[in-house]
Structure 1
Amino acid sequence: MKNIYLVRHCKASGQAADAPLTEIGIAQAKQLVHFFSDKNIDSIISSPFERAHQTIHPLSAQLGIEITLDDRLMERVLIGEDHPDWYEMLRQTFDDLDLCYEGGESSRTAMARAISVVDEILSSRAQNTVIVSHGNLISLLLKHFDKRMGFKEWEALSNPDVYHLSFDNHSPSVKRIWTESSL
């Protein structure tokens, strides 16, 4: 059986690629070390965004496992420029996976790049992998495995958040394992 732990980054100072974690986010990242202490993690893959790899760096350092940065785990670009109706636009992309706004990528395209990372993990020797990414991309990845995942579930994600995907014969079980009491 293979286990993949999808981690949404800890609290960050913004949405830019170089936005670091806040003081609260740094404390949360340290708490993730304890959270994963009994999971036998043997592989860590992260979005190259600062807030993502800062989230998992304490665990990486504790375990002596190098973080593999992977551009396929970057947050999904909804639209090429800031838009006042981005929230409603995002909601629509959960209903129409092929909807693509100018300068952005469709849900289906973003989902495919995230799934390619999972497929590589499933064919690797790693047994217990942590993937660190961003809310929209993680929700799309989860939607691939559980069609019930949608806009409301994206809204309910926390920073951080952790989902456990356990694969037995490439058929996953999906479970949210992070709660505020996990802190």
Structure 2
Amino acid sequence: MRTEIFFVRHAHSTYTPEELTRPLSEKGIRDARRVTKILESENLDHVVSSPYLRAIQTVEEAADYLNQDVILIDGFKERLLPSAPLDDFQGAIRKVWEEPSFHWEGGESNVDAQKRGVAAMLDLLNEFEGKRVAVGTHGNIMVLIMNYFDSKYGLAFWESLDMPDVYRLTFNGIDLVGVSRLWEAFSEEEESQ
């Protein structure tokens, strides 16, 4: 039975050191409305999200459209890279992708973050088999989950993501059988109008 998961990387947020309550910026709020337009056309059954505010805010209008609450799932929260800010974020990301078991002090390795994210995804696929579910999440954990199902999704793919971004993942049981990007198609279509 086919299940469609719509991974939604959160829109632009206003930086604060507090991950849980970091809100969307004004641009992020505008882009979240565009995400809602995409999701409204996909006949969703449910909307779930990371417990981080920026992810929730990116998908909450889609849940409102369905007259549902956003279901919070801890496993879809962003991976913790270090416990303290790093001078070279890109270099830090590159290091954990090159050495999947490596972790920065207080952070998660790719192996650990992927294990957490994949457990959440497998639970979701089981609970909502045959449904269409939007998942408000974050770039790193999203790509780590996708990488588990298909190794072609790695660091270069993460570097190519927009903020926000929307991907439809089609599963047959727990086998990933298709991936399509919806954000790019929507953005180009909107620009041509």
TM-score, length-scaled by structure 2: 0.88
Q: Secondary structure at the match of 1:103?
A: coil
Could you tell me which amino acid in structure 1 is paired with residue 50 of structure 2? S
2:171 maps to 1:167: yes
- Matching of residues 24-173 of structure 1 within 5 Å: 24-125=27-128, 127-172=131-176, 173=178
1:44-94 Cα deviation digits (max 9, x unpaired): 111111111011111111111211112211111111111213321211211
Match of 2:15 in 1: 14
Unaligned runs of 5+ in 1: none
Task: Give the secondary-structure state (helix, strand or coil) at the position aligned to 1:36.
Answer: helix
After TM superposition, what 4+ stretches of structure 1 lie above 3 angstroms from structure 2? none
Q: How far, CA to CA, are the matches of 2:122 and 2:9 in structure 1?
A: 19
Residue identity opposite 2:96 in structure 1 = T
Counterparts of 1:2 and 1:182, CA distance in 2? 26
Alignment deviations for residues 107-142 of structure 1 (CA, whole Å, 9 cap, x no partner):
011111111111112111450011111111111111
> Structure 1 residues 58, 155: closer, same or farther in 2, change over 3 A?
same
Q: Is the 8 A contact 1:145 1:174 kept in 2?
A: no
| CA distance in structure 1 between the partners assigned to 2:79 and 2:87 by the alignment | 17
The CA distance in 2 between the partners of 1:170 and 1:44, in whole Å, is 19
Residue 182 (structure 1) shift: 5.7
On the 8 A contact 1:21/1:54 being kept in 2, the answer is yes
Judge conservation of contact 2:86–2:92 (CA < 8 Å) in 1: no
SS at match of 1:123: helix
Q: What TM-score do the two structures reach when normalised by structure 1? A: 0.93
State the alpha-carbon separation in 1 of the partners of residues 46 and 65 from structure 2. 13
Matched-pair contact (CA < 8 Å) for 1:20–1:51: yes
CA distances 1:121-176 after superposition (whole Å, capped 9, x unpaired) = 21114500111111111111111122112222111111110111101142112222
CA contact (8 A) 2:125 2:173 kept: no
Q: Indicate whether 1:176 and 2:181 are aligned.
A: yes
Unmatched tracts of structure 2, length 5 or more: none
| 1:146–1:174 contact (8 Å) kept in structure 2 | no
